[in-house]
Structure 1
Amino acid sequence: MSGRSRRRAVVVAATPTPNGDLHIGHMAGPYLAGDVYSRYLAADGRDVIYTTCTDDSQTYVTTTARRLGVSAEQLCAESTAKIERSISAMGLSMEGLPPIDDRYRATVLQFFTRLHETGRLRERTVRLPYAQESGRYLYDGLMTGSCPVCLTGSAGGVCEGCGHPNNADELLGARSVLEPDSPVTTREVTILVLPMEEYRERLTSYFDERLGRWRPHAAQLVRELLARPLPEIPVTVPGDWGIAAPFPETPGQILYPWVEAMPAVMYSTWWSADRRGERTEAVDELWRADSGTELVYFHGFDNVYHWGLLDLVLLMAHGDRYVLPEANISNEFYDLEGEKFSTSRNHLIWSADLLAEVPRDLVRFYLALTAPEFQRTDFSTAALTEVTERRLIGPWNRLAEALDALAPAGAGSPLPTTATGRDRAAGIIERFRLTYELDGFNLGRSAENVVAALDRLAAAAQEPRERDDALGTGDLLLQVRALLACAAPLLIDAAAEATAAGVDLALDAEQPEKITPFALPRLPRAARAGAARTEVAA
């Protein structure tokens, strides 16, 4: 790895709420990005765990269950099965989704009991919105109103548009989602909080060191939040869906849903390691500061406050017990034909439905090419078919045919390579590293790198040459292998086929002086231009 770190990596994708399946907008954000980064690390010789965990306690589970007329428990179970199906269909390199069981709940409770015992939590009397007819306290997805910062429509907890948090009674014009006609007042209630302001000095030091590798929009939000008094993190709230809080100061309350994420992904890391046969004494062992783990988060911009600050402070509140994340890679919204994906309006494409009709290498490539990394981008099934055919499938398969003619796989002896050819193959890998490493991680540029190298090599393979030009053919094969290895985190099925045929796709290997001819796997074409047709409500 040319001196690069060989630390174990734990890569975390934002915890999905089990109130439905993952649509293409979700997949084009943190889930594909986290998978590509994880596959790159593995190909580079790193030990990596890519993981996530369903966020069962979210209020959006209860509101969706009410809208669908099912129980929250049934919705969680059915949605988790669908999410796991989508994870498998996309080929994400996770062990799966861990069960939300007694071990999970014990892990969460231990995390917060430790904070309570060390005096990190504080009692606060706050005014919470209160739906008078149902007698329900409102927070997060249970209420809607206007953001106090940008004044646009927002749910409770955090504004999806500007990313700023709104706690307690800060949401303007709060209304109940479950009882939209119910009068909403505020009532005093005593809860436990974690004061974020107490960690300002450590937060400032942390971001001084790491904020430079964050994307601009997310970094701007962090600077905005640090420029004003930091909020207090609710740890308990009065509610009836979630994990019961065990603290004597707040009888009958539950843990605030958003604070579960850190112990949840510690649990999912432990579960994933256990599935791989790696036994650890403690659930949080791989997150300990002395573990040497490199921790990286992938999430959407609307979760920058949660994953970037709230969860960071939860780790810091444990003193020096835990490793802190090296980076947060956030994405913007992915639109569908010019409008935001919307489950309630049926304006969406479920990931599993698209993957049932379009080969997943093509889906992964197109989502990477159009990923909403720095600004909102747009998905279109027609564009997927046209772009992948023109920019990927056509030149890729022409190159494969040319290689078959020049050096049929399994025919003849290994071909020699030159120093120039080895340097060029190494150069291909270095160009891709610039888009796969954290400092410049960029799915779109990675996909463009595939296209650029493919165009050059396809043209080179078509050039007139003497059939006994063994050196030139060896160099061409070496560079094609480098391209295939670099494209492997995106084109996982082509890579798997090549690996099964004996092609070494490791990125940390030396370039050889001889190379055995191999077949470049063909890429399939999309089933049809109208695959996974979208229904848009009027």
Structure 2
Amino acid sequence: MPVLPSRCRRLLCEACGALFRPESMLNPQPRMGDSPLQWVEVESLFLKVADPEQLLQRMSASGAPASIIEVIARFLQRENGRVRLTAPGDWGVAWSADRFGNPRVLFESGWEYALTCADRALEQTPEHGHAMLRSSAVTTLVSFGIDNAVLLLAGSAAVMDALQDHRSFDYVLTNYFYNLQGAKFSTSRLHVVWAADIVDHTPASSDGVRYFLSRESPENGETNFAIEAFIEVVNVELAGALDSRIDLALAHLDQQRQAIEPELRPSLDAAVERLALAFRLDAVSVRDAWDVLHQWMQCPELDVTDSAHAYLWLKGLAYLAAPTMPRVAAYLWQRLGHEGLPSLQGLYSASTPRVQSASRPRFKVLSPASLAPCLPASVVLDGAPAHA
């Protein structure tokens, strides 16, 4: 096999997550220089999947989307049910050298992470037992991108199945790539926006960032963090329409103890049910959760100048916003007379709204210049480069 450049050493396609063999590359060329590639024969270890069809069925039950399961099915068929355990090289968790003296490392470490996490959890909460044992009652979930689909779904699951008395993760949460201004987020190229920077060094709130990211969640395909779109969403939907409607509803709240009127409950019940469906472990969809919140924010059938409607809308908003915009949710929940964070029990319980003398904006208006401190130099807005 050829000595591969760093971007191909993992033998993975970043577009679909499929593995490829080095000998399958057509006319391979070095990334740097023009010296010919050096071909080296290296022995690798593989594991034979006992029942590929059963493995695919379990992946489907765990919440993996059909598009990713198709990648795994093609891989298992092409590789005759074998998954790679070691790869040539010396970067990673070392494995013994092959009979030619070539260094090898473990090809994927998802099953090692699983066992390590379970070991640490056992140290902290021994009463729950080891989470990765087949006898465990603990529910486990792993989240990863498309480029790790074969490794974590086929590789780790197959290894865990082969280990005596162990099991793989119960559920998976997958995603495709997320771009920044049309180009892949890349820490090595500094083409990235750090979460702490956008919140700490710009007027953007964590709620606003979470709201936009939820809307753009790359669950079914590649999506893009477009700075101009982010600014428009925050300014129009949040700092504009939502803040104004919250202030209007708060101004018309009855300060007496009250509960949601029974005739107004159907619309809220439907939204609560949709939110619960968005967070089923076998079908998590942040986009669906965002859509429930987005629709409730507008909810034109509710007149928030009516005290009963205002109470219903604000209470529903607090509960439905909790996963996406927790700061706003907590603020509204306390203004409605509750303590702590929104809960399903409190949603349908009576409360006495608290009076606050002056309203305050929960979201600040953004501009390209205001976001410059968090943007990489590669991003240019309105002709002015951002500060790296």
Shared fold, TM over 0.5: yes
Q: Which residue in the other structure is 2:362 paired with?
A: 523
1:198-237 matches, within 5 Å, as 198-207=50-59, 210=61, 213-230=63-80, 232-237=82-87
1:52-201 matches, within 5 Å, as 128-130=1-3, 138=4, 142=6, 144=8, 156-167=10-21, 169-175=23-29, 180-196=33-49, 198-201=50-53
SS of the residue 2:125 aligns to? coil
Q: Which residue in the other structure is 1:490 paired with?
A: 324
Q: Distance in 1 between matches of 2:91 and 2:61?
A: 36
Distance 1:500 1:249, change over 3 A: farther
SS of the residue 2:2 aligns to? strand
Assess if the C-alpha contact under 8 Å between 1:193 and 1:234 holds in 2: yes
SS of the residue 2:143 aligns to? strand
Q: Distance in 2 between matches of 1:229 and 1:238?
A: 18
Instruction: Please identify which structure carries the higher strand content.
Output: 1
Distance 1:384 1:143, change over 3 A: closer
Letter of the 2:125 counterpart: E
Match of 1:298 among 143, 160, 180: 143
Q: Does 1:446 pair with 2:289?
A: yes
Letter of the 1:221 counterpart: V
Cα distance, 1:485 vs. partner?
A: 1.6
CA-based RMSD of the aligned residues comes to: 3.5
Q: Which residue in the other structure is 1:341 paired with?
A: 185
Distance 1:362 1:479, change over 3 A: same
CA deviation digits over 1:192-248, x for unaligned, max 9?
33234x3425324435x527x433432332332344334643333453333333699
Distance 1:440 1:278, change over 3 A: closer
Cα distance, 1:499 vs. partner?
A: 6.0
Cα distance, 1:374 vs. partner?
A: 1.7
Q: Which residue in the other structure is 1:271 paired with?
A: 120
Q: Which residue in the other structure is 1:135 paired with?
A: none
TM, length-normalised to structure 1: 0.60
Q: Distance in 2 between matches of 1:443 and 1:216?
A: 18
Higher relative contact order (CA 8 A, sep 6+): 1
Q: Distance in 1 between matches of 2:217 and 2:343?
A: 24
SS of the residue 2:41 aligns to? strand
CA deviation digits over 1:29-54, x for unaligned, max 9?
xxxxxxxxxxxxxxxxxxxxxxxxxx
Q: Does 1:312 pair with 2:176?
A: no
Unaligned runs of 5+ in 1: 1-127, 131-137, 145-154, 466-471
SS of the residue 2:353 aligns to? coil
Give the fraction of aligned pairs with identical amino acids, expressed as a percent.
21
After alignment, is 301-310 or 524-533 more displaced?
Answer: 524-533
Q: Distance in 1 between matches of 2:64 and 2:87?
A: 32
CA deviation digits over 1:389-422, x for unaligned, max 9?
21233232223212332237xx5x4114322234
CA deviation digits over 1:477-535, x for unaligned, max 9?
24422321221111122234456774464544275352221579852215533403343
Distance 1:513 1:361, change over 3 A: closer
Letter of the 1:301 counterpart: I
Match of 2:268 among 403, 425, 439: 425
Q: Distance in 2 between matches of 1:226 and 1:192?
A: 16
Q: Distance in 2 between matches of 1:184 and 1:238?
A: 15
Distance 1:272 1:387, change over 3 A: farther
Distance 1:261 1:176, change over 3 A: farther
Distance 1:398 1:168, change over 3 A: same
Cα distance, 1:165 vs. partner?
A: 0.5
Q: Distance in 2 between matches of 1:170 and 1:249?
A: 24
Assess if the C-alpha contact under 8 Å between 2:2 and 2:22 holds in 1: yes
Aligned residues: 370
Assess if the C-alpha contact under 8 Å between 1:199 and 1:313 holds in 2: no
TM, length-normalised to structure 2: 0.80
